[in-house]
Amino acid sequence: MPLVSVVIPCFNHGKYLPEAVESIWSQGYPATEIIVVDDGSIDTTREVTESLPGVRYIYQENQGLSAARNTGIKHSHGEFLVFLDADDWLLPGALEMNVLLLQQDHELAFVSGGHDKVFEEEGITKEDVTPVAADHYLHLLQGNYIGMHATVMYRRWVFEEMAYDTSLRRCEDYDLYLRIARKHPVLHHTGKVAAYRLHTTNMSGNIPGMLSTTLQVLDRQRTSIQTPREKEAYARGHEIWKEYYCDELYKNLLNKKAPASLQAAQTLLKYRPILLLKFIVKSIVS
């Protein structure tokens, strides 16, 4: 069986590592290596990792997720690679499922699947499964249907051609999907591969920052757009992302899950001023 390298970047999430590592060992897929890249943690990441058998530990000064994943790639040996965040976990049969699909079509650069969103504070789990059978680049221009990078299994040669962009502090996975799908065939399936834990320390909780970086990543594709369908998808993607993140920000402000900050107000004013007006009116009334 081809070797699968599972790279776990970790920054101060040492307490979650045993669960993440156990989800890999319990796969039942025998040809697996696990590499934890400690991105300058000041918690117990080193001690926890060294207590886990069969896990390689690599330390680097804090440089961010992209750099940590690139470091993991350099120290890995697998024909296929998976990137699992320390606070997430793989679902049973995940590795075997994606390996089989890659083996069936040697032209594929990566294969991705569905996942569960686990809302830690609320104690609920929601299934996130989006069927995409074709035109993957067009779909990615209009949104990140993958949603969670642990559902993706890459071929090693992808990273001989490109790498995670270290200038991006977020959305680096979306940027990579777009660059790969622009040039190579990829596959998406509806089998669930991983569980995505949502809690207060997720970077995705910074909605203004997420929207700004997402649009920046999408704008990078402007020079690659060639056909009328791609132009339409690109324009549609801008509107979809603005609508999605502004609606989320508005709901969070109403439910007091996000502070009524200047950054939040500026984001709504720039992209969805009607929502800012509605929030102000509701705040006055209440």
| CATH code at position 131 | 3.90.550.10
For residue 200, the model assigns a pLDDT of: 65
State which amino acid sits at residue 171: C
Final residue of a structural domain among 160, 188, 205: 205
Phi and psi at residue 173, to the nearest 5° = -70, -45
187 and 66 housed in the same domain: yes
For residue 112, the model assigns a pLDDT of: 98
The three-state secondary structure class of 42 is: coil
142 and 65 housed in the same domain: yes
Report whether pLDDT(260) > 90. Answer: no
For residue 17, the model assigns a pLDDT of: 98
Nearest Cα residue to 100 out of 180, 20, 4, 21: 4
211 and 193 housed in the same domain: no
Final residue of a structural domain among 182, 205, 228: 205
Final residue of a structural domain among 172, 205, 238: 205
Question: H/E/C letters for each residue in 243-281?
Answer: HHHHHHHHHHHHCCCCCCCHHHHHHHHHHCHHHHHHHHH
105 and 133 housed in the same domain: yes
100 and 179 housed in the same domain: yes
109 and 179 housed in the same domain: yes
197 and 219 housed in the same domain: no
Report whether pLDDT(224) > 90. Answer: yes
Distance of CA 100 to the CA centre of its chain: 22
192 and 212 housed in the same domain: no
**Could you report the per-residue pLDDT of 8-60, keeping only the tens digit for each?**
999 999 999 999 999 999 998 999 999 999 999 999 999 999 999 999 999 99
169 and 140 housed in the same domain: yes
108 and 35 housed in the same domain: yes
106 and 170 housed in the same domain: yes
121 band by pLDDT with thresholds 50, 70 and 90? confident
- Full domain range(s) for residue 154: 4-205
169 and 80 housed in the same domain: yes
Instruction: Work out how many domains the chain is built from and give that number.
Output: 2
